[in-house]
A and B are shown apart, each in its own frame.
Chain A
């Protein structure tokens, strides 16, 4: 039955029936959930998030055709592994932005442009997204980032240098900033 199951995901994909492919992968922080559509990476679930809930959310908001298909996420996993080893500074993955809309999506696109090892603050992100006064909304956009790590919301701090929050927990944010050489190790 295992062979039949493995072929199933491949065939579903070939016939255009695999709307959301997912897998889990290990990271120094714990297991990550990775999910992609034919357009690109759509969701990264951090270790402190419930993978089952994230999959139900994807089934509701993207498509119920959600299948475990590790082969579809091999490149994503490879780049993340290299990133955690400090050997990759820029992801080259196609992204699917459909889980964020309007102003939030603009903010996330701004965040995606912050280079490795640098930080910005929420005000700068709000300004970049076209509304300098929407600092709080920019903070919410960071907090609800569906593609953390690859869209590096950990590089956004409070004005004045305080770390601010992080969906994966503050220790993870600190560790990521240490990895990138922003904080002293």
Chain B
């Protein structure tokens, strides 16, 4: 069995990646929640983790699951109303416009784009995280990028 490093080193090394995945998938305002849920879930499972060789991929996968949970919960929370309240929206940062668009992509494409560009994962690891073949991962990424280009044009 590989010896697991102190959990703090996972935070020091990969907090940025996890935050990028959360921002890319659930948006800036809920990213902190997604981030915490991810690390709490990871911390809970950590002592029993049998393979510590790809801790980054493991964390990113958990972050994606948490993002999916979040979307499902939000789906249940959504209640149609007659009038929509006017609420202030945070001013998006310059390149955040892109991530807003990424957030609007279909789930597989969104995940593939985020894993590739926010987390810098190679295709094989994206496939593992998404539970599909590398070809399917490549296709999702390609479709996602094509749609983004069209929207940005």
Contacts and interface: CB of A to CB of B under 8 A. Distances in A.
Contact of B6 (A3, A17, A59): A59
A66 B39 contact: no
Interface residues of B, number: 19
B43 to A, nearest CB: 5
A185 interface: no
B29 to A, nearest CB: 13
Interface residues of A, number: 23
A17 B44 contact: yes
Interface string B100-143: 00000000000000000000000000000000000000000000
A65 B7 contact: yes
Interface in B2-40: 3-8, 11, 15-16, 19, 32, 35-36, 39-40
B4 A4 contact: no
For the complex, would chain B's binding face be called helix, strand, loop or mixed by DSSP majority? helix
B39 A8 contact: yes
Contacts of B6: 20, 55-56, 58-59, 64, 66
A146 B8 CA distance: 21
B11 A5 contact: yes
Contact of B4 (A3, A11, A64): A64
A29 B39 CA distance: 35
Interface in A44-73: 55-56, 58-60, 63-68
A151 B47 CA distance: 30
B125 to A, nearest CB: 23
The 9 A-B residue pairs with the shortest CB-CB distance in the complex, in nearest-first order? A66-B6, A64-B4, A59-B6, A4-B32, A55-B6, A17-B43, A4-B35, A68-B8, A67-B8
Given A11-B40, A22-B8, A64-B4, 15 more contacts: A1-B19, A1-B35, A4-B19, A4-B35, A8-B11, A8-B39, A15-B44, A17-B40, A56-B3, A59-B3, A60-B3, A65-B7, A65-B43, A65-B46, A66-B7
